[in-house]
């Protein structure tokens, strides 16, 4: 069976779709799993051995062009994990026989099976809601999947090369102060610098600060504020997959609940993550696809006094590493 899984939004959102792709392949290795993704996520999708084909939707070409791509893939059934009118109409025009999606928005009229999930109630995590849609197709499917979900044969080589270039001889803890994706809670940059200074008190570890390719100003600011400290500064310019390989070598990855957090968890790296103190943006909804025993979540409160108290808790936790 040719199964299309559609998730065309951001990095973290796409990673929440990967367990669904995995269990569909596990259910029957003969299933041909095709994904429709945004350009950003194409390299990561191609790195997954449980995905057979990748269709890229750049969001700029016509819906007819997208429908032609989908039609050419000869899809038997589609599972759209997050829908919009564009991807819904494209599937309808591609004449995909069975089209499964959550019953939300006007786009639902283009699907043959609409599933009421009420994700706003956050009764489970985003990736768990995605998995439930696979059960609509195969009622007896096993939704359990091996963790870490993604591993690379050459990840150790990438990490060792990074350590050699930067003279690293200890275990590493990475701080990623960037603020992006759908996250809406984080410490300030100066607070991250304070957390880094707390970590520097732990002499058995090497502190690394990582930055996205478009975070040059943030990189420069942190480097100037931590001038003279034993911190390795790294801008990811070698692509998403290389960054995933590198991240798999870190002892811990500290960040807000954005795409890089989900990426670190995907490859099995322990995480300390900061979330907004709201149900919609909470760890309950956005917990990662990794083993829960290696996830540490902090819900940053709005109250300034409680926020300051939590910040001190985080500093103590880092010093206790």
Report helix, strand or coil for 6.
Answer: strand
The pLDDT of residue 16 = 98
- Inside any domain, residue 144: no
Q: What is the pLDDT of residue 85?
A: 95
- CA–CA gap between residue 79 and residue 2 (Å, rounded): 11
pLDDT interval class at 185 (50, 70, 90)? confident
Domain boundary among 91, 111, 137: 137
Domain count, the chain: 2
Give pLDDT, residue 320: 87
**Which of 2, 285, 289 is closest to 137 using CA atoms?**
2
Shared-domain flag, residues 59 and 169: no
Does 87 share its domain with 212? no
Residue in the structure block whose two tokens are 């283009």: 110
On whether the CB atoms of residues 260 and 238 are closer than 8 A, the answer is: no
Per mean pLDDT, which range of 86-95, 117-126, 173-182, 258-267 is the poorest? 173-182
Structural domain that includes position 200: 155-319
Segment holding 67, helix H or strand E: helix 63-72
Q: Which tokens belong to 241? A: 């997959």
- The answer as to whether 60 is a domain residue is yes
For residue 142, is it within any domain?
no
Is there a single domain that holds both residue 131 and residue 178?
no
Q: How many whole angstroms separate alpha carbon 275 and alpha carbon 182?
A: 11
Cβ atoms < 10 Å from Cβ of 174: 24
Query: What span, in angstroms and rounded, lies between the C-alpha atoms of 188 and 300?
Result: 12
Q: Are residues 159 and 113 in the same domain?
A: no
Q: 83: which 2 tokens? A: 């829908």
At which of 103, 137, 171 does a domain end? Answer: 137
Q: Is the pLDDT of residue 181 over 70?
A: no
| Residue that has been written with the tokens 């970590």 in this structure | 199
Same domain, 111 and 183: no
165 and 98 in a common domain: no
Q: What is the pTM of this model?
A: 0.95
Question: Do 118 and 31 sit in the same domain of this protein?
Answer: yes
Q: Residues 101, 192: one domain?
A: no
- Nearest-5° Cα angle at 60, 57 to 65: 60
CATH of the domain at 70: 3.40.50.2000
Domain annotation covers residue 260: yes
CB 281 within 8 A of CB 257: yes
The whole-angstrom separation of Cα 181 and Cα 272 is 17
Alpha-carbon distance values, 33 to 8, 86, 134, 236, 256 (Å): 15, 21, 12, 29, 31
Is the same domain home to 283 and 244?
yes
Q: Are residues 104 and 230 in the same domain?
A: no
Boundary residue ending a domain (78, 102, 137): 137
- The answer to whether residue 148 sits within a structural domain is no
Residue 304 lies in a domain: yes
Whether 150 is covered by a domain: the verdict is no
């Amino acid at each position: 069976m040719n199964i299309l899984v559609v998730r065309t939004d951001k990095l973290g959102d796409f990673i929440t779709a990967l367990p669904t792709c995995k269990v569909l392949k596990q259910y029957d290795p003969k299933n041909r799993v095709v994904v429709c993704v945004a350009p950003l996520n194409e390299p990561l999708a191609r790195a997954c051995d449980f995905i057979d084909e990748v269709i890229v939707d750049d969001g700029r070409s016509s819906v007819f062009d997208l429908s032609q791509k989908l039609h050419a893939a000869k899809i038997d059934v589609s599972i759209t994990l997050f829908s919009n009118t564009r991807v819904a109409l494209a599937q309808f025009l591609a004449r995909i026989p069975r089209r499964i999606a959550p019953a939300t928005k006007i786009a639902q009229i283009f699907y043959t099976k609409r599933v009421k999930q009420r994700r706003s109630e956050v009764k489970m995590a985003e990736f768990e809601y995605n998995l439930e849609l696979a059960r609509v197709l195969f009622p007896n499917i096993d939704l359990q999947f091996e963790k870490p979900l993604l591993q690379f044969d050459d990840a150790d080589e990438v990490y060792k090369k990074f350590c050699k270039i930067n003279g690293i001889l200890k275990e590493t803890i990475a701080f990623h102060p960037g603020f992006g994706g759908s996250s809406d809670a984080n410490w300030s940059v100066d607070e991250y610098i304070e957390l880094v200074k707390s970590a520097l008190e732990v002499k058995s570890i090497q502190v690394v600060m990582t930055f996205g390719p478009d975070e040059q100003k943030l990189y420069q600011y942190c480097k100037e504020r931590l001038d003279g400290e034993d911190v390795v500064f790294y801008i990811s310019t070698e692509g998403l997959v290389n960054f995933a390989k590198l991240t798999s070598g870190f002892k811990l990855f500290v960040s807000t609940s954005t795409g890089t957090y989900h990426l670190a968890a995907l490859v099995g790296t322990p995480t300390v993550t900061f979330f907004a103190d709201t149900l919609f943006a909470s760890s309950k909804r956005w917990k990662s696809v990794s083993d829960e025993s290696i996830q540490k979540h902090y819900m940053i409160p709005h109250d300034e006094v409680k926020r300051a108290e939590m910040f001190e808790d985080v500093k103590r936790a880092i010093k206790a590493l």
